[in-house]
């Protein structure tokens, strides 16, 4: 990538579809490397603060990361009456872990991300996301979640699949065998929530996630949130449950920037075009 000091109009782009790209003006390149698993890029941007890209796809920007991280975590956690043990698959930047640890009911949260370099980059450049890494209730594992999950039968109340897009090391996290392993790893009354891509820009991926969850869990349901820097800005989360429903079971007792109990309820109401997409 060109040096922004000598190229004042440097931009980084994500090709969000074959016909759509989103760009950020870069003020400084902070880290650019090939990890054992993917290309990692951290930049300062003029519009959105620091941003993390993996394999050319934006994972987060400081300006709006909380939309995604609050919704992937708080909807399933508040839907569970007592989420004591939580697993995050992926999420090596720490944003989802930060939100999970806000729940006093959580006794342990295991974060399993295959790429340790993502966690190291977050420690170095994203202190507001990595705040949970050293919490005594957090356990960090850098290994293949596809292998780890097979050894965790009946271990978790809530599982959050905070994966990258279904390319590279994350492909297996969108397949039916993985969902079957997740179901076996839940305690009675357990819930999983998985990022399911954009119903506007990547409807086929949303449909694939819901087909997999519906074939695996007695109850599968989609809910929606916002992710301004992601393709289409409207983001889907697929859930699988062994029993119960997704209504909030406990009052909100800590500060948030986007999530509220009312937004939780509204997120479960799908517009007609999304219902048609997953029908």
Contact 180, 174 (CB under 8 A): no
CA distances from 271 to 160, 223, 234, 242 (A): 24, 10, 12, 25
Distance CA 240, CA 214 (A): 8
Partners of 242 in beta bridges:
none
3-state SS assignment for residue 251: coil
The residues facing 41 across adjacent strands are: 32, 53
Q: Which of 64, 93, 162, 205 is catalytic?
A: 162
Q: Distance between CA 276 and CA 169 in Å, rounded?
A: 30
162 tagged catalytic: yes
- CA dihedral 32→230→73→69, nearest 10 degrees, is 50
Burial tier of 232 (Cβ tally within 10 Å: 0-12, 13-18, 19+): middle
H/E segment holding residue 95:
helix 95-100
DSSP result, 155-193: -EEEEEEE---SSGGGGGGGSHHHHHHHHHHEEEEEEEE
Residues tagged active-site: 162
């Amino acid at each position: 990538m060109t040096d922004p000091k000598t190229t004042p109009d440097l931009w980084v782009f994500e090709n969000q579809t074959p016909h759509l790209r989103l760009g950020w003006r870069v003020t400084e390149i902070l880290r650019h490397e090939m990890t054992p698993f993917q290309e990692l890029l951290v930049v300062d941007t003029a519009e959105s603060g620091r941003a993390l890209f993996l394999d050319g796809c934006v994972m987060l920007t400081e300006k709006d990361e909380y939309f995604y991280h609050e919704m992937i975590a708080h909807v399933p956690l508040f839907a569970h009456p007592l989420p004591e043990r939580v697993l995050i698959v992926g999420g090596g930047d720490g944003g989802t872990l930060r939100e999970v640890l806000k729940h006093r009911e959580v006794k342990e949260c295991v974060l399993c991300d295959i790429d340790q370099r993502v966690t190291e980059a977050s420690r170095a450049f994203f202190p507001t996301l990595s705040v949970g890494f050293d919490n005594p209730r957090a356990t960090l594992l850098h290994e293949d979640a596809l292998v780890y999950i097979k050894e965790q039968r009946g271990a978790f109340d809530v599982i959050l699949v905070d994966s990258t897009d279904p390319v590279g090391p994350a492909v297996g996290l969108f397949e039916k065998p993985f969902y079957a392993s997740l179901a076996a790893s839940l305690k009675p009354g357990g819930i999983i929530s998985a990022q399911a891509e954009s119903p506007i820009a990547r409807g086929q991926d949303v449909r694939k996630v819901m087909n997999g969850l519906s074939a695996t869990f007695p109850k599968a349901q989609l809910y929606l949130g916002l992710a301004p820097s992601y393709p289409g800005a409207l983001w889907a989360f697929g859930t699988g449950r062994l029993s119960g429903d997704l209504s909030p079971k406990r009052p909100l007792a800590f500060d948030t920037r986007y999530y509220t109990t009312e937004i939780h309820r509204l997120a479960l109401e799908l517009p007609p075009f999304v219902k048609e997409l997953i029908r």
